[in-house]
Amino acid sequence: MRIPDLGRRGQGWVVLQFVLIGLIALAGALPSSTTGTMGTILSVVGAALIVAGGVMAMLAIQALGPSFTPDPRPLERAVLVESGIYAVVRHPMYAGVTLGALGWGCFNGSPLAIALSGLLLVVLTLKSIREEAWLAERYPGYPAYVERTKRFFPGLI
């Protein structure tokens, strides 16, 4: 499958993801009709997802160090990181952002934010496919890494 570059470094993918994140933030800020026990449960689950997503994202940034970039094309000075959280999943930053967005929707009881989080997952999946094509061109060992490591969540996808 050929995914478009959306810019020399893939910066269009970054713009698209930030637009969706902004829409998710706004949707979660709308008044919710979820109250009572269900509202409390959703808030607790949402808070846990936000924390889990934040931890994943921070571990990803820490593991990448100077190789970190929001763009899908790797930096010239970048090295392939396969340790730390990257030994468990190939795109922990994207997984963390998705978990945080979903958590925000749950925390605020916003079906729209939850639905937009699903769309964000689709966009980040496409972005990761584009990124992986560039990584495979750059790093000969990348295909073997793909074979042994899930994209976003261990044991799932």
- Asked whether residue 117 is domain-assigned, the answer is yes
Report the domain count for the chain: 1
Q: What is the pLDDT of residues 37-89, one digit of tens each?
A: 988 999 999 999 999 999 999 999 999 999 999 999 999 999 999 999 999 99
Q: What is the pTM of this model?
A: 0.92
108 DSSP 8-state letter: T
In angstroms, rounded to a whole number, what is the distance separating the alpha carbons of residues 16 and 7?
12
Classified as helix, coil or strand, 89 is strand
- Asked whether residue 154 is domain-assigned, the answer is no
- Asked whether residue 55 is domain-assigned, the answer is yes
For the chain, the C-alpha Rg in angstroms (whole number) is 16
| Residue 155, token pair as written in the block | 């044991």
- Asked whether residue 19 is domain-assigned, the answer is no
- Asked whether residue 42 is domain-assigned, the answer is yes
Domain around 110: 35-70+77-148
Q: What is the pLDDT of residues 108-143, one digit of tens each?
A: 999 999 999 999 999 999 999 999 999 999 999 999
